[in-house]
């Protein structure tokens, strides 16, 4: 097998920027809990599980499964059993990065600390992700429990819009303070980075609030500065009184958070039970996403069969790509050790004796050169067919190979260059 070294100009590194679109739809059926749907995927029943890819205990299709393990497997008796990652507690104290008391782990962080050396620690699959809604009725108090980093991040974004400010500086008169996140009711939407990559693309965020299937109001970041402005919907027919042109929240593009603070009535004639344990209320943006199966509010006893919600955005993902050019020079790579390279039916037995071993020098190569006439062959020429190109490291270890869909004919007069692309 011939080997050729890539020259300096044969390898090119670049970055491919993509903007994958993502869509979520949230709808609660009365008496059956909430439902989250990802990119309009239907709920599919598996042979061993109630839903495929087995990413949600409620069968929601609004989840993605990291690694896609246990897509259709069950740990119930007489079933397939679940694939698990595991390690043993050793002297190095090597362990998983625990989320304290997370259900993904058979053993929690405390269990690992108290475990005996040699005990097995299990990590359950599938690991899943979906959007999460958290109701923060106390504004800054609850944000502080979430972590001061979110408060600091909001203030850092204030260079783009004053609507990001967590609280007003002391020198701003109270009469000029239109909002204050330290005491506002806040609807916090968390989007895992697996859905958007490095950041959410500016100008692509869209939130829809539907009532009885009709678009009541829509938010969009039309200014690409993170302000979610109510731009359309039935509520806009009533003007600013019901939010037309008003800012109902902000987007943290790099962190994947949406904070909704719009507290005006989107529809003054419609009421549903948007808060757990509370009376019926008019729809507001702070109630967007209520009833989702992964809602963090306790109880999940809402009654909102007429309301549904949509979320659309595009991500920004950068994929490093390595492009390699593999050359097949003229007059080279025209011999093969493949047995089909030799004309069939010949005597290939070597000559052996007391003083030597010799292979025949008269073995004919098969003529694969075709003729324009039926049942005829053209003059002989050495042809090979390239079907695979291997990639090796400096120690001649095979890293991978590119396989051609159709073998390419290589003649002695022909020079070929193959373009290989690898996502890294």
The answer to the question of residue 27 being in a domain is no
The answer to the question of residue 33 being in a domain is no
- Looking up tokens 């609850």 gives 142
The answer to the question of residue 215 being in a domain is yes
Separation CA 225–CA 228 (nearest Å): 9
Separation CA 380–CA 361 (nearest Å): 18
The answer to the question of residue 76 being in a domain is no
Longest dimension (CA), the chain: 111
Q: Are residues 305 and 392 in the same domain?
A: no
Provide the residue-wise pLDDT of the chain in tens; the chain has 424 residues.
Answer: 788 999 989 999 999 999 999 999 988 754 454 578 899 887 777 787 777 777 765 556 788 888 888 888 877 655 567 888 888 888 777 777 754 445 555 556 666 778 888 888 877 777 788 888 888 876 655 565 544 568 888 889 988 988 888 877 777 666 666 677 777 888 999 999 999 999 999 999 999 999 999 999 999 999 999 999 999 998 888 888 788 899 999 999 999 999 999 989 999 889 988 876 678 889 999 999 887 655 655 445 567 888 999 999 999 998 999 999 999 999 999 888 787 888 888 878 888 888 888 878 788 888 877 766 666 667 778 888 899 999 999 899 999 889 999 999 998 999 999 999 988 7
Separation CA 182–CA 200 (nearest Å): 25
Q: Are residues 261 and 408 in the same domain?
A: no
Q: Are residues 284 and 245 in the same domain?
A: yes
Q: Are residues 155 and 275 in the same domain?
A: yes
Q: Are residues 136 and 110 in the same domain?
A: no
Domain boundary among 69, 94, 124: 124
Q: Are residues 264 and 398 in the same domain?
A: no
The answer to the question of residue 336 being in a domain is yes
Range of the domain at 364: 329-423
Domain boundary among 100, 124, 148: 124
Question: Which pLDDT value is given to residue 283?
Answer: 93
Separation CA 115–CA 210 (nearest Å): 51
Alpha-helical runs (H) found in 254-387: none
Query: Cβ of 290: how many Cβ atoms within 10 Å?
Result: 25
Domain boundary among 102, 124, 146: 124
Question: Which pLDDT value is given to residue 101?
Answer: 46
Question: Which pLDDT value is given to residue 147?
Answer: 45
Q: Are residues 343 and 284 in the same domain?
A: no
CB-CB contact of 330 with 413 (8 Å)? yes
CB-CB contact of 216 with 207 (8 Å)? no
**What's the number of domains the chain is made of?**
3
The answer to the question of residue 79 being in a domain is no
Q: Are residues 400 and 305 in the same domain?
A: no
Q: Are residues 189 and 313 in the same domain?
A: yes
Question: Which pLDDT value is given to residue 31?
Answer: 46
Strands (E), 1-83: 11-18, 21-27, 36-38, 64-66
Question: Which pLDDT value is given to residue 225?
Answer: 94
Q: Are residues 172 and 270 in the same domain?
A: yes
Question: Which pLDDT value is given to residue 301?
Answer: 56
Separation CA 207–CA 310 (nearest Å): 6
């Amino acid at each position: 097998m011939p080997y050729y070294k890539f020259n300096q100009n044969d390898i090119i590194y670049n970055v491919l920027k993509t903007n994958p679109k993502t869509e979520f739809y949230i709808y609660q059926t009365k008496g059956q809990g909430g439902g989250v749907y990802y990119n309009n995927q239907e709920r599919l029943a598996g042979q061993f599980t109630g839903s495929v890819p087995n990413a949600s205990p409620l069968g929601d299709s609004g989840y993605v499964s990291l690694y896609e393990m246990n897509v259709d497997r069950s740990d119930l008796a007489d079933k397939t059993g679940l694939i698990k990652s595991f390690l043993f507690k050793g002297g190095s104290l090597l362990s998983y990065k625990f989320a304290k008391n997370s259900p993904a782990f058979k053993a929690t962080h405390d269990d690992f600390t108290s475990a005996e050396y040699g005990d097995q620690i299990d990590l359950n699959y599938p690991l899943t992700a979906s959007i999460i809604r958290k109701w923060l009725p106390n504004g800054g108090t609850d944000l502080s429990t979430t972590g001061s980093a979110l408060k600091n991040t909001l203030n850092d974004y204030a260079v783009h819009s004053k609507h990001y400010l967590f609280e007003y500086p002391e020198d701003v008169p109270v009469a000029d303070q239109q909002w204050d996140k330290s005491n506002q009711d806040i609807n916090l939407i968390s989007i895992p980075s697996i859905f958007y990559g490095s950041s959410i693309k500016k100008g692509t965020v869209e939130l829809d609030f539907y009532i009885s299937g009709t678009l009541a109001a829509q938010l969009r970041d039309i200014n690409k500065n993170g302000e979610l402005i109510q731009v359309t919907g039935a509520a806009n027919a009533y003007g600013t009184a019901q939010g037309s042109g008003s800012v109902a929240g902000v987007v943290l593009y790099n962190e994947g958070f949406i904070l909704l603070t719009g507290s005006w009535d989107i529809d003054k004639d419609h009421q549903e039970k948007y808060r757990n344990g509370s009376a019926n209320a008019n729809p507001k943006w702070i109630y967007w996403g209520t009833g989702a199966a992964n809602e963090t509010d306790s109880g999940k006893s809402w009654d909102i069969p007429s309301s549904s919600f949509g979320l659309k955005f595009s991500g920004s993902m950068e994929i490093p790509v390595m492009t390699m050019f593999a050359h097949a020079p003229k007059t080279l790579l025209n011999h093969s050790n493949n047995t089909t390279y030799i004309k069939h039916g010949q005597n290939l037995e070597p000559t052996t004796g007391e003083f030597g071993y010799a292979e025949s020098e008269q073995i004919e190569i098969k003529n694969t050169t075709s003729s324009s006439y039926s049942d005829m062959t053209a003059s002989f020429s050495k042809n090979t067919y390239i079907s695979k190109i291997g990639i090796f490291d400096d120690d001649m270890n095979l890293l991978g190979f590119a396989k051609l869909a159709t073998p390419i004919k290589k003649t002695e007069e022909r020079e070929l260059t193959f373009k290989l692309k690898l996502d890294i």
